[in-house]
Amino acid sequence: MEKLNQVYEGKAKKVFATDDPELFIVSYKDDATAFNGLKKGTISGKGVVNNKMSNYLMQILEKNGVPTHFVEELSDRETLVKKVSIVPLEVIIRNVSAGSFAKNYGVEEGITFPEPTIEFSYKNDDLGDPLINSYHAFALGLATKEEINTIKTMAFKVNDVLKEYFKNLGVKLIDFKLEFGRLSDGSIVLADEISPDTCRFWDINTNEKLDKDRFRRDLGGVEDAYNEMMKRVFGE
């Protein structure tokens, strides 16, 4: 597999073409941003943690019937993935109140919901990723009704699998963001990443935050949190 030209550089990853038109290589950086790019920094070793953790979780999801873009881990920071056309929606599942949910609806963090919630943001940096509903997504032509239903079903399935998986590691899966894409045949697969950048993880006993909130909120121990999650997933 030959790595060709860079097709995109995002806030946390670079994307490269390959000599196979159906495959991309993603390369994970240590760059961290928050608040729509307003806060910038570096989290040393983050790219390695996110790459390896995301690949591992995607393989678990595949085994549980969720199709993903994962093909092969090439190195600590680089992974071969199926090229998709990204559906421009950030799909957010929540099990426990936190972050913008707590802020927007005036509740404290840490309230466990009777059942998980789903919401969508329109993935558009210029607009600040505004919250939209599935009718808006359809009206804007971002996805078909069938695709939206598929995405909802897959997102809740991801939650069922990962919530149970992390519970066994002593970690509460508070909330997370997913992105989906279309393969060349039009089928929907899970894409992008699943990592401490895109999930909230709290220690099951102490509620200690083990995710990007340590960076967003200047809590300190940012690298330690990523390393701790790496340790929980892969062992010593």
Q: Which residues bind ligand UDP (CB under 6 A)?
A: 90, 92, 98-101, 129, 175-177, 198-200, 212
Largest CA distance in the chain: 51
Q: Which helix (H) or strand (E) holds 170?
A: none
Which listed residue (83, 172, 177, 209) binds ligand ADP by CB under 6 A?
83
Among 12, 98, 229, 230, binds ligand ADP (CB under 6 A): 12
Task: Show the tokens assigned to 116.
Answer: 């998980």
Distance CA 17, CA 23 (A): 7
Q: Which does 228 bind (CB under 5 to 8 A by kind): ligand UDP, ligand ADP, none?
A: none
Q: Which residues sit opposite 121 in a β-bridge?
A: 90, 131
What is the nearest approach in angstroms of ligand UDP to the Cβ of residue 97? 9
For residue 155, the surrounding DSSP H or E stretch is helix 145-167
Nearest residue by C-beta to ligand UDP? 99
Q: Which residue is nearest to ligand ADP (CB)?
A: 10
Contact with ligand ADP (CB under 6 A) among 1, 4, 86, 140: 86
Token code pair at residue 66? 């969720």
In whole angstroms, the minimum distance from the beta carbon of 179 to ligand ADP comes to 5
Give min distance, CB of 107 to ligand ADP, in A: 27
Stretch of residues binding ligand ADP (CB under 6 A), selected from 41-49, 54-62, 71-79, 83-91:
83-91
Number of residues that bind ligand ADP (CB under 6 A): 17
Binding partner of residue 86 among ligand UDP, ligand ADP, none, CB under 5 to 8 Å per kind? Answer: ligand ADP
> Using the rule CB under 6 A, is 24 a contact of ligand ADP?
yes
Scan for tokens 């940012």, then name that residue.
222
Q: Is 69 or 177 the residue whose CB approaches ligand UDP more closely?
A: 177
Closest CA to 74 of 178, 179, 3, 21: 3
By a kind-dependent CB cut-off of 5 to 8 A, residue 192 interacts, out of ligand ADP, ligand UDP, none, with ligand ADP
Assess contact for 233 and 60: CB atoms under 8 A.
Answer: no
To 5 degrees, how large is the angle CA 212–CA 137–CA 57?
Answer: 35
Cα separation values, 29 from 18, 42, 70, 106, 212, Å: 19, 9, 18, 35, 14
Mask 176-205, x = binds ligand ADP (CB under 6 A)? ---x-x---------xx-------------
C-alpha distances in Å from residue 197, one per residue of 96, 148, 176, 205:
17, 24, 9, 22
Chain contacts with ligand ADP (rule: CB under 6 A): 8, 10-13, 15, 24, 69, 81-84, 86, 179, 181, 191-192
